Amino acid sequence: MSVTTTPHLNFRGDAGEALEFYHAVFGGRLVVVTNEDAGAAETPEEAKQVKFGQVLGDNGFSVMAYDVPASQPWEQGEKSVFVSVRGDSAEEISDLWARLAEPSTVLEPLAPSAFAPLYGMLKDPFGVVWVLDVATAWEG
């Protein structure tokens, strides 16, 4: 089993452009799943926005990003980063979730999602927002 942590950057409409930039700088593999791909567009205008994106560099560089939906508050520079914890198994992520969730505020319960076997979001007592999920290959 293994767990990795990755900066998860939050944008409003330009996550795809940012990911392409980071990919051009760091190389490696670029993955972009749009709201449309994930069946998660809240409005037609958000269909092409990023639901899940990442750059995985051959040198170990890793960054994730998405476009915050218009239905959620967002201001550039405010909540611009989540800490993403990805694991290989549901058991591993469920264990970590249980320990993090006890003193935290659950923002999205740990449950299956359109892009991961398990995904959840919480804010810890120190104000840090964490997203936990089971890693899966996306073939979108």
Checking 89-92 for CB contacts under 8 A at 24+ apart, the result is: 89/1, 89/134, 90/117, 90/118, 90/134, 92/1, 92/3
Q: What is the pLDDT along the chain (140 residues), one digit of tens a residue?
A: 678 888 998 889 999 999 998 998 789 999 999 999 999 888 999 999 999 999 998 878 899 999 999 998 877 776 678 888 888 889 989 999 998 998 899 999 999 988 889 999 998 887 788 899 998 765 44
Inside any domain, residue 140: no
Q: Mind spelling out the 3-state secondary structure of 104-134?
A: CEEEEEEECCCCCCCEEEEECCCCCEEEEEE
Is 101 among the domain residues? yes
Q: What is the CATH number of the domain that holds 24?
A: 3.10.180.10
Please report whether residue 105 resides in a domain: yes
- Supply the range of the domain harboring residue 30: 3-134
Amino acid, single-letter form, for residue 24: A
